[in-house]
Amino acid sequence: MLFKQQALLRQKLFVLGSLAIGSLLYLVARVGSLDRLQPLCPIDGRFGPRSQDEIPLRALQFKRGLLHEFRKGNATKEQIRLHNLVQQLPKAIIIGVRKGGTRALLEMLNLHPAVVKASQEIHFFDNDENYAKGIEWYRKKMPFSYPHQITIEKSPAYFITEEVPERIYKMNSSIKLLIIVREPTTRAISDYTQVLEGKERKNKTYYKFEKLAIDPNTCEVNTKYKAVRTSIYTKHLERWLKYFPIEQFHIVDGDRLITEPLPELQLVEKFLNLPPRISQYNLYFNVTRGFYCLRFNIVFNKCLAGSKGRIHPEVDTSVITKLRKFFHPFNQKFYQITGRTFNWP
């Protein structure tokens, strides 16, 4: 009888001991797990930088989903305060050019965890009515971001509007300015194609490109046609250089951004003093669309709108030759000023 009682006692002690050891091992594992997960909690305190060169990229990647919710207008003032969100004036602006690839550039730069984009063109500096509303109105049009991110907006009309350089200079004389250009004749035809499509949607007739680009009285290039004027890049850039040094501009090759985007984006990262984070993983070629699409993570992919990559109408080859000859001296001067040469015919 005594032997059975001792055996039962040893069995109970064994069970209790096993439970105690199991609990201890669970606590050790739990503490280790919490320690590994620690960066997900006090992000601001642990990763908060002292300068732009120390942008908390891991923290920003974690918070990207939260920012998406705030952009949809679902955030309360208390949530905004708790997450330390702000609406910042842009530290960089894509000022042009129209039909050069401004939307593609903005969307691709948004792949970087330290960049936040304004979704819509603000048209603050080129629109007198908007500009009269003041800088705070402009700030309120910016997306919510974290203090160590940089906000970028794009409004390609800025590049060709005379008042804009001085207005931007008054806001921030050290702002970084991005210009994306394509071969001038191709850009002009693309400009025409977009307008033509708009006319066709409204069942309106429109002149052929040749009739607009060439003055019928002189048979010379019609510099009064806006699509032609916009492609004279050096004329517009010279106006900007009255206010900003050339070092504050970065020229992006819009033709190369279509065929080989990563090297162009890496140059922009360097210009903006951002640590390199955009990689080939973020860009994949969509055979159906014929363009590169964007991969933010394993779940979220994005392609540009279907309006991108419109098929251009056939243009008389003699008109194309005349336009290219016309643009050539302006292109040479543009190369000289910017220090970047393109293989434009």
Q: Any idea which residues carry the catalytic annotation?
A: 99
Question: Binding residue per annotation — 152?
Answer: no
Please check if 185 is assigned to a binding site: no
User: Which is nearest to 46 in space by CA: 28, 37, 59, 60?
Assistant: 59
Q: Is 308 annotated as a binding residue?
A: yes
190 is in an annotated binding site: yes
| 3-class secondary structure, 244 | coil
Instruction: Give the DSSP letter of residue 339.
Output: S
What values do phi and psi take at 144, rounded to 5? -70, 145
3-state helix, strand, coil in the chain (%, to 5): 50, 10, 35
On whether 246 is known to bind a ligand per the annotation, the reply is no
187 marked among binding-site residues: no
- CA 338 to chain CA mean position, Å: 22
Residue 295 in marked binding region:
no
What token pair was written down for 133?
A: 């509303």
Name the token pair of 121. 């063109």
Classify 51 as helix, strand or coil: coil
Cα–Cα distance, 211 to 222 (Å, whole number): 9
Decide if 253 contacts 183 (C-beta within 8 A).
Answer: no
Q: Are 39 and 47 in contact (CB under 8 A)?
A: yes
Determine the Cα–Cα distance for residues 111 and 11; give it in Å rounded to an integer.
61
Does 309 belong to an annotated binding site? Answer: yes
Is residue 311 annotated as involved in ligand binding?
yes
Q: Cα 41 from chain centroid?
A: 28
Pairing of strands 249-253, 176-181: parallel
Is 174 assigned a ligand-binding role in the annotation?
no
Is 182 assigned a ligand-binding role in the annotation? yes
Residues 200 and 34: their CA atoms lie apart, in Å, by: 61
* Residues placed in the known binding site for 3'-phosphoadenylyl sulfate: 99-103, 182, 190, 292, 308-312
* Residues placed in the known binding site: 99-103, 182, 190, 292, 308-312
